[in-house]
Amino acid sequence: MQVSQDQPIYSEAPLQLLLFVDGRPKSRQQVQRLRAYLKELQAEYHFELQIIDVGQQPYLAEHFKLVATPALIKIHPEPRQILAGSNIIAQLKNWWPRWQTALDTYLKLQEDLQERIDENGRVSSPKSTISSVAVSAELMRLSDEIFRLKQEKDKLQEQLQFKDRVIAMLAHDLRNPLTAAAIAIETLQSNYSTETGEFKRLKPAMSAHLLKQARSQTKIIDRMIADLLQVARGNDTELPIIPQKIELGQLCLDVLEELRDRYTAKLLQVETDIPKDLPNVYADPERIRQVIVNLLDNAIKYTPQGGKISVAGLHRTTQKVQFSVGDNGPGIPIENRDRIFENHFRLQRDEGTEGYGIGLCLCQRIIRAHYGQIWVDTAPNGGAWFHFTLPVYPS
């Protein structure tokens, strides 16, 4: 606690005052006049005065709930009294005689109490009120520091949990491009002749297609690994996106081609309703590819053998395009349609299987990063319809 060096300190003084000051020039003049007047009083009356700079010790100002400085506070004897404003000296002149009367009464009570104590007993000097104020201020400072550290801890835990979620999400999504790249490479390898340097049983167009497929999938994997590293290093809780002009319908058709082996193996029918005049959207193509892959992956997984998957595009407004992926699987119960996008949320029927959960949570984060919406409702033929919106590319 800062104490004025030009004021004597009387640790046993029954009358104890605190003067709160600040560094404003106008306030400094008022404080100088007040300190001069207190010095005159101190020549005649016995009291303890401590001067506190609120800039250095804001906790004390908070402790006394001060809203303005300078302020003069009588802290002992009780009751506490605060003098503030531009006329502190006038207030002090008015209250000083009353304080003296109260002080005389307090000292008389102390003397009476001492006389009543047995001659072998001892009366310890009361603990300095100013010292107790300093202790209270330190406790408040420590309390604020604990609160600040708790906030930092909660923030760090939130960041760690976010990183864990993103890593789990990306690891989940790495499976699809890895599988596609592996199939393309294995097909090329099994048909390559070391003798002729050509691909047996593969037409040049198919060989070129498979090479392009392997190359594009490895680029997607590279982007995902970069995302993992960025999340591991960074403190942001938002997924980075690089929006550009993309043709959403063609992107979806490309993903369907990548997943052809999976849905043909289950004899699924794929129905597309993508208008030719569907406007381009302003989005990150690789991120939106992740969304479409996840939604189609779930649709394939939950559609029964011989069922149907639907894909549709809609120019919803002048600023939004809506895209939908539907199936005729078991659908999503109404009570779970909001929670289905929570990280690791599992429907009871899906315990022990992999599906709606990690991928849908990532889909929601990606669509929200594009200022879009994603939701689910019941498909006309049963099953689930997942819809999301994206901004139209400005023409």
For 156-166, letters b (16+ CB in 10 Å) and e give eeeeeebbebb
For 266, the token pair is 């289950």
Is 268 within the bounds of a domain?
A: yes
What is the H or E stretch that residue 112 is in?
Answer: helix 88-116
Place of tokens 């330190």: 138
User: Residue 207: which domain range?
Assistant: 148-237
Answer yes or no: is 311 within a domain: yes
Same domain, 165 and 290: no
Q: Return the pLDDT at 230.
A: 56
Tokens standing for 191?
Answer: 């048909």
* Residue 131: inside a domain: no
In a domain, 7, yes or no: no
Distance from the first to the final alpha carbon of the chain: 66
**Cα–Cα dist 267/269, whole Å:** 7
For 215, what's the count of Cα atoms within 13 Å in the CB-facing half-sphere? 6
The Cα–Cα gap between 81 and 117 comes to 31
Question: 117-125: which pairs have CB atoms within 8 A and are 24 or more residues apart?
Answer: 125/12
- Answer whether residue 122 is part of any domain: yes
Indicate whether 164 belongs to any domain.
yes
Q: Are residues 186 and 297 in the same domain?
A: no
Per-residue confidence band for 6, with pLDDT thresholds at 50, 70 and 90: very low
Residue linked to tokens 């004025």: 4
Residue 98: per-residue pLDDT: 85
At 102, the pLDDT band (50, 70, 90 cuts) reads confident
> Are 314 and 381 within one domain?
yes
CATH value at residue 23: 3.40.30.10
Q: Is the pLDDT of residue 202 over 90?
A: no
* Cα–Cα dist 364/351, whole Å: 22
Of residues 353, 277, 279, 291, the one with CA closest to residue 325? 291
Q: Which helix (H) or strand (E) holds 35?
A: helix 25-44
Are both 106 and 43 inside the same structural domain? yes
Confidence of residue 128 (pLDDT cuts 50, 70, 90): low
Both 270 and 393 in a single domain?
yes
Please indicate, yes or no, whether residues 268 and 394 belong to a single structural domain of this protein. Answer: yes
Ramachandran assignment for 383, one of left (phi > 0), alpha (psi -120 to 50 degrees), beta (any other): left
Retrieve residue 78's tokens.
């009780």
Q: Quick one: tokens of 379? A: 């498909």
pLDDT in tens, 236-293: 456 788 999 999 999 999 999 888 888 888 999 999 999 999 999 999 998 999 899 8
112/221 same-domain check? no
Cβ atoms within 10 Å of 77's Cβ, excluding its own: 19
35, 40, 43, 49 alpha-carbon torsion, rounded to 10°:
-20
Please state the domain count of the chain. Answer: 3
Query: What percentage of the chain carries pLDDT values higher than 70?
Result: 79
In which band, very low, low, confident or very high, does the pLDDT at 178 lie, cut at 50, 70 and 90? confident
CA distance 367 to 371: 7
Task: Note the pTM of the prediction, 2 decimals.
Answer: 0.49
Q: Is residue 87 part of a domain?
A: yes
Same structural domain for residues 115 and 224? no
CATH code at position 326: 3.30.565.10
Alpha-carbon torsion 364, 365, 368, 369, what sign? negative
321, β-bridge pairs: 390
Per-residue pLDDT tens digits for 43-72: 777 788 888 888 888 877 777 778 788 889
- CB atoms < 10 A from the CB of 211, how many? 14
| Inside any domain, residue 138 | no
Per-residue pLDDT at 126 exceeds 70: no
